[in-house]
Structure 1
Amino acid sequence: MDAAAAATTARTVWRWTEPVHAVTYFSPEGRAAFEDAGLRGWWRGYFAGRSAPLGPVGPEPVTAAFFGFAPGAVARSLPSVWEVVPPGRALELRRTGSRAALRRLLAGLEAEAARAAELLVRHLDGLDCAGRPLGAANAALGFPVDPLDRLWHAATLLREHRGDGHVAALVTAGLDGCESLVLRSGIDVPRDRLQPLRGWTDEEWAAAAGRLAGRGLLAADGRATEAGRALYARVEAATDLAASRPWQALAPDAVEALGAVLRPVARACAAELPQPNPMGLARDL
Structure 2
Amino acid sequence: MWTHYEPVHAVTYFHPRSRAATEAIGLRGYWRGYFAGRAAPLGAVDAAPVVAAFFSFAPPMVARALPSVWSLATPEEALRARLTGAVQALAELTYELPEAHLVEAAELLEAAAGEVDTAGRVLGAANAALPRGEYPLARLWQAATTLREHRGDGHIAALVAAGLDPAETLAWKVALGTDPVNLLGRGWTEEQWTAARDRLTGRGWLTADGEPTAHGRTTFDAVEDATDVAAARPWRVLGADRVDRLRELLEPIARAAHTVIPADSPIGLPALRS
- Whichever residue aligns with residue 209 of structure 1, its letter is R
Task: Tell me the TM-score normalised to structure 2 length.
Answer: 0.95
- Aligned pair 1:55/2:39, yes or no? no
- Whichever residue aligns with residue 36 of structure 1, its letter is A
The residue correspondences of 1:23-172 to structure 2 (distance < 5 A) are: 23-109=11-97, 110-172=99-161
Cα 1:249–1:38 shift into 2, 3 Å: closer
Q: For 2:243 and 2:205, locate their aligned partners in 1 and report how far apart those are by CA, in whole Å.
A: 36
* Aligned position for 2:6: 18
Q: CA deviation at 1:126?
A: 4.7
- Aligned pair 1:242/2:233, yes or no? no
- 1:253 pairs with 228, 231, 241, which one? 241
Q: For 1:251 and 1:86, locate their aligned partners in 2 and report how far apart those are by CA, in whole Å.
A: 39
Q: CA deviation at 1:229?
A: 1.2
Say if 2:25 and 2:73, in contact at 8 Å, map to a contact too.
yes
Q: What is the aligned residue count?
A: 272
* Aligned position for 1:185: 174
Say if 2:5 and 2:250, in contact at 8 Å, map to a contact too.
yes
Cα RMSD after superposing both structures: 1.3
Instruction: Identify the range of structure 1 (169-178 vs 125-134) with the bigger mean alpha-carbon deviation.
Output: 125-134
Q: For 1:220 and 1:22, locate their aligned partners in 2 and report how far apart those are by CA, in whole Å.
A: 35
Say if 2:113 and 2:144, in contact at 8 Å, map to a contact too.
no
Say if 2:51 and 2:62, in contact at 8 Å, map to a contact too.
yes
- Whichever residue aligns with residue 160 of structure 1, its letter is E
Q: For 2:156 and 2:218, locate their aligned partners in 1 and report how far apart those are by CA, in whole Å.
A: 17
Matched position secondary structure for 2:223: helix
Q: Whose RCO is larger (CA < 8 A, sep 6+)? A: 1
Q: CA deviation at 1:62?
A: 0.2
Q: CA deviation at 1:282?
A: 3.0
Say if 1:217 and 1:228, in contact at 8 Å, map to a contact too.
yes
Fraction of identical pairs, as percent? 55
Q: CA deviation at 1:124?
A: 2.4
* Aligned position for 2:259: 271
Task: Tell me the TM-score normalised to structure 1 length.
Answer: 0.92
Say if 2:170 and 2:183, in contact at 8 Å, map to a contact too.
yes
Unaligned runs of 5+ in 2: none
- 1:174 pairs with 146, 163, 170, which one? 163
Q: For 1:217 and 1:272, locate their aligned partners in 2 and report how far apart those are by CA, in whole Å.
A: 34
Say if 2:171 and 2:196, in contact at 8 Å, map to a contact too.
yes
Q: For 1:222 and 1:140, locate their aligned partners in 2 and report how far apart those are by CA, in whole Å.
A: 43
Q: For 2:121 and 2:272, locate their aligned partners in 1 and report how far apart those are by CA, in whole Å.
A: 30
Unaligned runs of 5+ in 1: 1-12
Say if 1:25 and 1:46, in contact at 8 Å, map to a contact too.
yes
